[in-house]
Amino acid sequence: MNAAYSVDPDITLASTLPGAFYRDTAAYERVKERVFARSWQWIGDTDDVAQPGSLSPREMLPGCLDEPLLLSRDVQGTLRCLSNVCTHRGNLLVKAPCVADQIRCGYHSRRFDMAGRMTFMPEFGAAKNFPSPSDHLPQVPFGLLGTQAFAAVDPAAPLDDFLGDIRSRLAWMPLTDFRHDPSRDRSFDVAAHWALYVENYLEGLHIPFIHPALNQVLSTDGYGYELQRYCNLQFARARDGEQAFDLPPSSPDFGERVAAYYYWVFPNLMLNFYPWGLSVNIVQPQGIARTRVLFRAYVRDASKLGDGAGNGLDQVEMEDEEVVQQVQRGVQSRFYDRGRYSPSKEQGVHHFHRLLCEFLGD
């Protein structure tokens, strides 16, 4: 790890990551294995594997990790995440969601049960020490938040450690009742380093200057930051007269006028909870200066769509993209090195940078 990529733990003294980080191809490649392969990645919802016997192929972080996965629900109802690669010659096993009683490779007809155990292989009668455990499909670390599925290659900690206090903080919210609304899904390609997009999300300092419409809804004086081990929360309060959550007495925030819970999960996931539901934002690195951002919408109360902090997300995204792409140009400058953090407004950015240094350096 380049010593220049250290960040002081004291935000009042610390300087940001240097501009060189966003130009360093070696660091970008190292991040794939040291950061993304060791964190939990969102792999979609589980609506298409609700039925016993369901199979659904997934891909972990397309354009970066590109790991083929398979969600499999057996007849007893157990849901697993398996490798979607045949253990014989590496063929992809399942190409589209389906219902089946086994997993069959179309190349040489090797077969597996729904738990990934190999059950049949033609023309291997003379093979010695066959089958062995390596002939079964590897089970991939897997977990759920409501109907949202997560997987990891080699996670640094359990999923709940990455999710922080989401389960307890939002225990009153029926996360399994959210319904995907594809009409609200979006995909944006941003000409910038993925970390610059994350940094922009993690601070509210820019909201009055970049997002005039959003600034009319949120009370920036009541904007709070809560840092957890592998995630953080931007706690956004609504201005008087603007839409807010109807919080039950069981909520730890009962009595507050909460406009949104903006959760960031290290390194590249945003879970934005609004009165109408959930916007999942996934930041997918496509190259050192290319990023794809996916927005997936899950509606809980359609009557609340169109108002509050969760309204006008397309406009907010365009405003964010414009400034992030300007910063991408700026960090290429020979005259830019490091900046300083606002101790009151950029705690999340400092937290992110510290985690990057930790994962890259250990």
Domains annotated for the chain, with CATH where assigned, are 41-151 (2.102.10.10), 177-361 (3.90.380.10)
Q: Please report the pLDDT score of residue 214 as a whole number.
A: 73
pLDDT for the residue 311: 66
Q: Read off the pLDDT of residues 96-146 as tens digits, 9 standing for 90 and up.
A: 999 999 999 999 999 999 999 999 999 999 999 999 999 999 999 999 999
The verdict on pTM exceeding 0.85 is yes
Angle at 20 between CA 10 and CA 350, to 5 degrees: 25
Return d(Cα 274, Cα 38) in angstroms, integer.
Answer: 29
Using an 8 Å Cβ cutoff, are 253 and 165 in contact?
A: no
Per-residue tens of pLDDT for the chain, all 362 residues = 344 589 999 999 999 999 999 999 999 999 999 999 999 999 999 999 999 999 999 999 999 999 999 999 999 999 999 999 999 999 999 999 999 999 999 999 999 999 999 999 999 999 999 999 999 999 999 999 999 999 999 999 999 999 999 999 999 999 999 999 999 999 999 999 999 999 999 987 777 777 777 766 666 667 789 999 999 999 888 888 889 999 999 999 999 999 999 999 999 999 999 999 999 999 999 999 999 999 999 999 999 998 776 666 788 888 888 999 999 999 999 999 999 999 999 999 999 999 999 999 86
How far is the C-alpha of 149 from the C-alpha of 55, rounded, in Å? Answer: 14
Determine the pLDDT at residue 273: 96
Dist CA 311 CA 297 (whole Å): 12
Write out the H or E segment, with its range, that includes residue 186. Answer: strand 186-190
